[in-house]
Structure 1
Amino acid sequence: MTVATSAGRSGQSRPLPNSAATAPPTPYTLLSCSMSLDGYLDDASEERLLLSNSADFDRVDEVRAQCDAILVGAGTVRRDDPRLLVRSSARRGERVARGLPASPMKVTLTGGADLDPGARFFVTGETEKIIYCAHSVFGVARERFGGLATVVDGGDPVDLHGLANDLRARGVRRLMVEGGGRVHTQFLTAGLADELQLVIAPFFVGDSRAPRFVRDGGFPWGPEHRAELAEVRQLGDVVLLRYALSARFGAD
């Protein structure tokens, strides 16, 4: 990410940090995902498949409340139209009492800027929203979303290391990545994930047209370098598997 600018609320631009020597450490990054027994994030229908339960939804809400930013890919914004807000009023109140926004910053990345300005990503919550877009569509994205979010030129394609450095420079110390499969794959293969929180639903999808947890890629963990299983927790009829993916696992 060599030449990139950010359109902030002031209307001014600044270069993204692109040097490990000058940038602070990247945010502690945890990936959060629910999948079926056969590894699918959803089925192939238009209606969203619920893979979790109320106990796990509350756990995810608690994790969100502990983070500075929540990131999803543009495909998730289009398909699921998530709000990405802390649901619990008590947790929102605790954040505000600590001088934080009621919900974490919302972040997405896109190669085509084909997002609906009326999506709940943009129109719900008072928290800051950031879009990292490909250089080729930066002008279009800034014109389309500049009044709704901070638009950042992320390179072509969007450089995840530059994105992580930029978020850290904006004060993000703890980043929660909620998908989808393409984004999870990118963070894992880029070596930017410190923790994986994987919830297993007790059923099969059995349809190869459905989206999977990850796509093909060169992952740091394989048969000779296994990921460390740090926690197993039953939550009703689903199971949480928590994996340590870096030496920073569990860092506050």
Structure 2
Amino acid sequence: MLLSVAVSLDGYLDDASPDRLLLSNAEDFDRVDAVRADSDAILVGAQTLRSDNPRLLVNDADRRARRIAAGKPEYPLKVTVSASGELDPALRVWHHGGGKLVYTTDAGATRLGDRLSGLADVVSLGPAIDFGALLDDLGRRGITRLMVEGGGRIHTAFLSADLADELLLAVAPILVGDPAAPRFLHPAAYPGGSGRRLELADLTRVGDIALLRYLPKGHQLGA
């Protein structure tokens, strides 16, 4: 399972304006499209759907054709996590290609009711979101490569639970500096704390963006 994120130099996912801040350049957007094409499923949190209203598609026709030739669906499965169940059926993600799956809580499932009937399958994980149980359920559905695209709470949850195998961090040459803007990670009890070092597996230049590939299950200081 890999986390994919673009951040500013000072660690923000966006600014606080009504319009989405485009951190990636055209070359990096194409790279993300290729990662999506190689994935079995793409996961985002409900806040990402509300703020960005993405379609979560593989845009390149050749990549979609290669998926079909390999016996895969044209698009990866789209997975949303929402503890509250506050999801608008008018969001674009439900109305564009690929299967859709929502993980929620018992209370969230009750709140959703049949609002997503015919648009997405809804699965309750119990009284709270258990990300380990979520991954187990995806595994039973045949999902072997999961791409997580955010937002910050979702990235924080996977990293703090030590569930991520890979982190693709695209660093844009932009400074946001607004405390009201969303950050990449939230305060959490990360495994190993500040004594744990993630392994830097690769560093690539993508136009004016630095792409860092980290393996979160790195080694301890002094180990």
Task: Answer yes or no: same fold by TM over 0.5.
Answer: yes
> Which residue is 1:163 aligned to?
134
- The answer to whether the aligner puts 1:59 opposite 2:31 as a matched pair is yes
Give the counterpart of 2:119 among 133, 148, 151: 148
> Which residue is 2:211 aligned to?
240
RMSD: 1.1
* Structure 1 length-normalised TM: 0.84
Is the CA contact 1:142–1:151 (under 8 Å) kept in the aligned structure 2? no
For residue 194 of structure 2, give the secondary structure of its aligned residue in structure 1.
coil
* Displacement of 1:113: 1.5
**5+ long unaligned stretches in structure 2:** 219-223
Give the counterpart of 1:180 among 151, 156, 159: 151
For residue 207 of structure 1, give the secondary structure of its aligned residue in structure 2.
coil
- The 2-side partners of 1:203 and 1:122 are apart by 32
> Which residue is 1:96 aligned to?
68
Aligned amino acid, residue 72 of structure 1: V
For residue 246 of structure 1, give the secondary structure of its aligned residue in structure 2.
strand
Is the CA contact 1:69–1:174 (under 8 Å) kept in the aligned structure 2? yes
- The 1-side partners of 2:195 and 2:167 are apart by 19
For residue 145 of structure 1, give the secondary structure of its aligned residue in structure 2.
coil
Is the CA contact 1:181–1:213 (under 8 Å) kept in the aligned structure 2? yes
- The 2-side partners of 1:214 and 1:155 are apart by 25
Is the CA contact 2:82–2:104 (under 8 Å) kept in the aligned structure 1? yes
- The answer to whether the aligner puts 1:229 opposite 2:205 as a matched pair is no
* Displacement of 1:221: 5.1
1:70-119 CA distances to partner (integer Å, 9 max, x unpaired)?
00000001110111110100000000111111110000011222111111
**5+ long unaligned stretches in structure 1:** 1-28, 248-252
- The 1-side partners of 2:69 and 2:87 are apart by 33
For residue 229 of structure 1, give the secondary structure of its aligned residue in structure 2.
strand
Q: 1:99 to 1:213 in 2, by over 3 A?
A: same
> Which residue is 1:17 aligned to?
none
- The answer to whether the aligner puts 1:206 opposite 2:177 as a matched pair is yes
- The 2-side partners of 1:112 and 1:162 are apart by 18
Aligned amino acid, residue 124 of structure 1: H
> Which residue is 1:24 aligned to?
none
Share of identical aligned residues, percent?
52
Q: How many residues align?
A: 218
Give the counterpart of 1:216 among 167, 180, 187: 187
Is the CA contact 2:82–2:108 (under 8 Å) kept in the aligned structure 1? no
Give the counterpart of 2:18 among 40, 46, 50: 46
1:133-168 CA distances to partner (integer Å, 9 max, x unpaired)?
111121332411122111001122211111110000
Give the counterpart of 2:110 among 139, 159, 164: 139
- The 2-side partners of 1:182 and 1:236 are apart by 28
1:2-57 CA distances to partner (integer Å, 9 max, x unpaired)?
xxxxxxxxxxxxxxxxxxxxxxxxxxx10000000100000001100000101111
Is the CA contact 1:37–1:200 (under 8 Å) kept in the aligned structure 2? yes
For residue 29 of structure 2, give the secondary structure of its aligned residue in structure 1.
helix
- The 1-side partners of 2:192 and 2:28 are apart by 26
Is the CA contact 1:229–1:244 (under 8 Å) kept in the aligned structure 2? yes
Aligned amino acid, residue 188 of structure 1: L
Aligned amino acid, residue 138 of structure 1: A
